[in-house]
Structures are given as C-alpha cells and as structure tokens.
Amino acid sequence: MSIRPLARGGALGLVALVIEKASALVLVVALARTLSPDDYGRYSFVIAYLTLFQVLADLGLETTLLRRLSQSPESRGRWMANALGMRIVLALTSASIAVALVPVAAPGQAELRPLVAVGAAGLLFAAQPGFRALFRAEARLDVVVRIATATNALLFALVGGALWSGAGLRGVFLGIAVAHLVGFGLAAVAARSTFRFRVAFDRRTWAVLGAEAWPVGANIFVIMLGLRIAPLLLMSYRGPVEVGYLSSATRLAEALNLLADGLMLAVFPILARLAATNHDALGAIVRVFAKVLAGLLLCVALVLSELAPDVLSILFGAEFRAAGPALVLLTWFALLASLGTLYTNLLVALGRQRILFALNAVSALFQIGLQLFLVSNYGLLGAAGGAVLASVANHMALYLLPATGVWIRPCVHAVLPMVALGVGLVAVAALVPGPALAKAAGLVVVFAGLVLALGWVGRSDLDKLRQALVTD
C-alpha cells in the first residue's frame, strides 16, 4: 500500500468524525444556551450515563468484527449477520439495565428515568454499529461520510424542532433517537450491494465473536467507567450545574481526540495485517503516528493553556468561564487519551485484549477511588485533575509491563521530549506578562520551531511510514 490511499482513507475517516463530533459539540452549545442550567446539567448527566451502556451494547463487537471482516473477506456475510444479531440483543439488554439502574445512579432524580429510556432507544445505535465496520473493511469510508452527514442533518432538524415547540428534554432525546435509528437504516440500505440485511443466531459463530470481543468491550467499559464516574459523582456532590460545566469542557477536550479516532478508522485494518506479517513495520508505523499525534495535540494544549476561559465563554456563555481551569487540565488528558487510542488499537491488532482489560480494570478502580476523593473535596477541578492523573498512571503501567512495554516504550521515548518541551513552555509562559492571544501564538511558533529544528519530527518519519506501508 502507498501513502496516498492511506491518506485518503484517513482524511475521509477524519471528515466523518469531524461531522459527528462537531455536530455533537454544536448541539451541546445550542442546548447550553437554550436550556436552563439545571436542564442542561440533566441532559449532560443522561449522555454521560448512557455512554456506559453504549459500551455494553457493543461489547467490543465493532473492533472484533472489523478484524474478522478484514482478515476473512470471503466470510463477510456470515460474520455480519451474526454480529448484527448479537448487537441487537445486547442493545435491548443494555437499554433495560440502564433504565432499571437510574435510581441507583441518580438518587432522588426520578424525572431522569423517562429521559434515559428515550435516549437509550437511539444512542445505543449511534454510528451505525456493524455497518461501519463493513464499510471500513471495504475501504468505503466515503459512504460513512455521507451517512454521518445525513444523520446529523436530521438530528439538528428534529432537535431544533423540539426546542422550538417547547417539547423540552424528552423532545430533544426523542429527536436524537429517531435520527440515529434512521442513520442505522440508511447504512443497511447503503450496504445492500455486498450484504443484504439479516440477522443470524449461529451458536458457534456467536461463541467465537463473544470470546474475541468481550476483552475489548470489557476494556472499553472499565475505561469509560473511570471517565464517566466524575459527572455521576458531581451530580451527587455538587448538582446539575457543575455537571453542565464539566460536560462542556469535556466535550471540547474529547473533540481533540477525533484526530486519533479518524486516523484509526483507516489505519486499524493495516495494523491488523501487519500484526500478522511484519512486526518491524508495525512498530515503525505506530511510532510515526505517535509523534504526529503528540505534536499536533501539544500545539492545541499550548493554545488552550492561555485561551481556555475565553473559548468556553465564546461558545457556551460567560458563566462557563468557571470551567476554564478544568479545560486546561482536560486538554492534557486529551493528549494522553489520543495516544491511548493508538496504543489500544495496536495491542488489539496484536491480540492482547486480555492484558488491556486487566490493566484498565485496575486503572478504573484507581480512578474511581481517586475521583471519590477529588470530586467530593474539589468539585469540578478535582474531576478534571483525576482524569489526568489516572491516565498518566495507565500510561506508566503500559510502559512498565513486559507484555506491553516492548511496543509502548519506543513510542513513549519518541514523544516524551516533545511533551517535556510543551510543559516547560507552559511554565515559562505563566511567568511572562502579555495578552493571552499573543502568548498562545508565540507558544505554538516556538514549540513547532524547536521540534523541527531538533529533528524530533521530519522527513525521515515520512520515509519510515512509506517504507512500512510498502511491506503491507
């Protein structure tokens, strides 16, 4: 494979995720400016809560299915039909559990149960589960872009209508549910040339998919539990307003991860093939991607270290300036999360899901304990700081464990000098007076200039990437 198809696939994957994440961000901005602070906080809580059940509804099937579809194209129909059958059963089960556990997750908030029920109907089918894996395996990411565009256009129309008519939060969640279910239907229509929609319940195939998928799903679940515990705790300790502040800062930080997510849409099938054929090329390509992700996200972190309160104020309103310090911390978390996305895809391609699960289960327990202390004592800032500290601990474990360190250590060594430079520049900037915008621009120019001058990122990386892809 040459760089051009990879670049095109990566670009299309990035476009699809930009559409989805930008739409989610625009929706959050509109709701923050339209709903009351309490209702906006309740909306944020329901979305964070249902994210956990989205993971249970997938259980790692998407990644496992993509791997199977990429490695066994002759059996795609069988894998797809059985994966869809499993996915629908899992979604119905997860939705039922989500509704049942609302009193436990939000004591005294009985009005949240119908919102969760309506929201689960669509959110558990977001991003066209199953079909997106098929389109990725067939390198048809242009179809993913078109479906994402249509789905989000419908979502804005329906949610806008709900807000205009005064239908409240139930109307908002109903609009979101209908849009995602229609998107799932559009994906089924678009896939009919290679797969006519059907579900299958072959016990043997389900057993194979389940055995391969559950470590991935469990891994993602424990990661998500660690990430989403903060808004759940904030609802109990500080109320819906601070949940809304955290949600806004988190949405902006999570939007930064779209670069890694978009890249993995195109790259994971290549990683899966190289994992089976050429470990040297696999290591080389992952190191290059790690440096590129770190360099770009560090530039964003430097800008937001100066401008976070202003960005929040412009987007969400003046009262959201209070979340500025949390956003600064969460931009560094976004850097760690993006690298973590790369490492996770690498280790899944190598078939090391069980190691990831064990590691992230311990990390999630650590983060829950940490967040219990930090959120109860420091509220919003504690929630953001806890996410960063837990992510640092997780990366250290990946670095130190023999089974993962052989792959992760070269990546860490490649990006650590850039991270150290970024932290140093932020510390220096704090001592230098001047307008925030000018300081932000100066930080990026100095950082980029030093990285290029010192040869930490350069043409040699492009050559390594090209050489690795030639072997695929």
Residues 5/468, Cβ–Cβ less than 8 Å: no
As a whole number of angstroms, the distance between CA 28 and CA 315 comes to 10
What are the tokens at 470? 């030639």
Percent of the chain with pLDDT over 90: 28
Average pLDDT over residues 281-302: 91
Q: Which helix (H) or strand (E) holds 421?
A: helix 402-429
Q: If you ran DSSP here, which 8-state letter would residue 432 be given?
A: S
Q: If you ran DSSP here, which 8-state letter would residue 74 be given?
A: G
Confidence category of residue 13, pLDDT binned at 50, 70, 90: low
What is the model's pLDDT at position 385? 92
Between 23-32, 52-61, 372-381, 458-467, the lowest mean confidence (pLDDT) is in 458-467
CA distances to 240, 280, 340, 349 from 283, in Å: 45, 5, 15, 12
What is the model's pLDDT at position 463? 74
As a whole number of angstroms, the distance between CA 326 and CA 311 comes to 13
Average pLDDT over residues 154-182: 90
In the chain, the number of structural domains is 1
The count of other CB atoms within 10 Å of the CB of residue 438 is 10
What is the model's pLDDT at position 330? 93
Per-chain mean pLDDT for the chain: 85
Q: Of 24, 12, 16, 14, which is closest to residue 252 (Cα–Cα)?
A: 24
Comparing 135 with 73, the larger pLDDT belongs to 135
As a whole number of angstroms, the distance between CA 205 and CA 188 comes to 21
Q: Give the domain range for residue 307.
A: 3-470
Most confident of 114-118, 354-358, 440-444: 440-444
As a whole number of angstroms, the distance between CA 322 and CA 426 comes to 20
207-236: pLDDT as tens digits: 988 888 877 777 777 777 776 788 888 888
What is the model's pLDDT at position 5? 56
Lookup result for tokens 């072959």: 202
In degrees and rounded to multiples of 5, residue 254 shows phi and psi of -65, -30
As a whole number of angstroms, the distance between CA 131 and CA 298 comes to 34
Confidence category of residue 1, pLDDT binned at 50, 70, 90: very low
State yes or no: pLDDT of 80 exceeds 70: yes
State yes or no: pLDDT of 202 exceeds 90: no
pTM exceeds cut of 0.85: no
Q: Which amino acid is at 330?
A: L
25-46: pLDDT as tens digits: 888 888 888 888 888 888 988 8
As a whole number of angstroms, the distance between CA 247 and CA 466 comes to 40
Lookup result for tokens 């994906």: 187
Q: How big is the CA angle at 180 (ends 173 and 41), to the nearest 5 degrees? A: 30
Length of the chain as a residue count: 472
The count of other CB atoms within 10 Å of the CB of residue 397 is 18
As a whole number of angstroms, the distance between CA 88 and CA 95 comes to 11
